[in-house]
């Protein structure tokens, strides 16, 4: 299979990042990680061609500085509110019904490509953003 043929759409996502589109298969991509757009494009799978599966938006994960800042802010909010946690059932529901089907999830790293935080069906609040009852995901859960 061939690589996608990328072109910028001239539009930005809600965070001001350019949206790229494959002219062959229609896959849309946003580079959130700060690495060169060429390296992100090279890491993507082969183009699915004009009759590929339904299109999903690929968002590269944020860089380490962004992840650290996002995690620090989440911890501060959580601690300031008295460290409230969601129940096991609520964490499992959010993860399985919202995170798993979301195009922003990175299933191999169990993390969100939007904010970079770890999200899972289990785990303590220190290692799972969903467990922190103070945290939300922009319009998806919380």
Total domain count for the chain? 2
pLDDT at 78: 95
115-140 residue pLDDT tens? 888 888 888 999 999 999 999 987 67
Instruction: List the single range of 10-19, 55-64, 90-99, 128-137 with lowest mean pLDDT.
Output: 55-64
pLDDT at res. 54: 44
Mean pLDDT on 27-33: 74
Please check whether residue 42 lies inside any domain of the structure. Answer: yes
pLDDT over threshold 60, residue 55: no
Token readout for 133 is: 């009852």
Say yes or no: 36 and 17 in one domain. Answer: yes
Q: DSSP labels for 41-53?
A: HHHSPPP--TT-S
User: Facing residues of 111 across strands?
Assistant: 106, 118
Residues 120 and 82 in one domain: yes
pLDDT band at 106 (very low <50, low <70, confident <90, very high): confident
Q: Give percent above pLDDT 90 in the chain.
A: 24
Same domain, 78 and 45: no
What are the CA-CA distances from residue 12 to residues 17, 20, 28 (Å)?
A: 5, 9, 11
Same domain, residue pair 54 and 71: no
Q: How confident is the model at residue 22 (pLDDT cuts 50, 70, 90)?
A: confident
User: Which residues have a Cβ under 8 Å from the Cβ of 8 and sit 6 or more positions away?
Assistant: 18, 19, 20, 21
The pLDDT assigned to 117 comes to 84
Please return the burial class of 76, using the count of CB atoms within 10 Å of its CB with bins 0-12, 13-18 and 19+.
exposed
Whether 68 shows a pLDDT value over 60: the answer reads: yes
In a domain, 138, yes or no: no
In a domain, 107, yes or no: yes
Tell me the average pLDDT across 12-36.
Answer: 75
Given this model, what pLDDT does residue 56 score? 56
Indicate whether 50 and 69 sit together in one domain.
Answer: no
Are 26 and 76 in a shared domain? no
Q: Are residues 69 and 124 in the same domain?
A: yes
What is the domain range of residue 69? 64-131
**Which residues lie across from 30 on neighbouring strands?**
19, 59
Q: Distance between CA atoms of 124 and 90, rounded to whole angstroms?
A: 13
């Amino acid at each position: 299979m061939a690589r996608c043929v990328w072109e910028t759409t001239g539009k930005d996502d809600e965070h001001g990042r350019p949206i790229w589109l494959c002219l062959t298969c229609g896959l849309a991509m946003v580079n959130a990680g700060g690495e060169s757009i060429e390296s992100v494009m090279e890491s993507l799978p082969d183009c699915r061609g004009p009759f590929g599966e339904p299109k999903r938006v690929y968002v590269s994960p944020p860089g380490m500085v962004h992840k650290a800042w996002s995690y620090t802010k989440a911890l501060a909010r959580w601690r300031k509110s008295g460290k409230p946690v969601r129940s096991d059932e609520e964490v499992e529901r959010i993860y399985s019904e919202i995170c798993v089907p979301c195009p922003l999830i990175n299933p191999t790293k169990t993390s969100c490509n939007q904010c970079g935080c770890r999200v899972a069906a289990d785990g303590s609040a220190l290692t799972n953003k969903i467990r922190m009852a103070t945290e939300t995901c922009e319009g998806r859960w919380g």
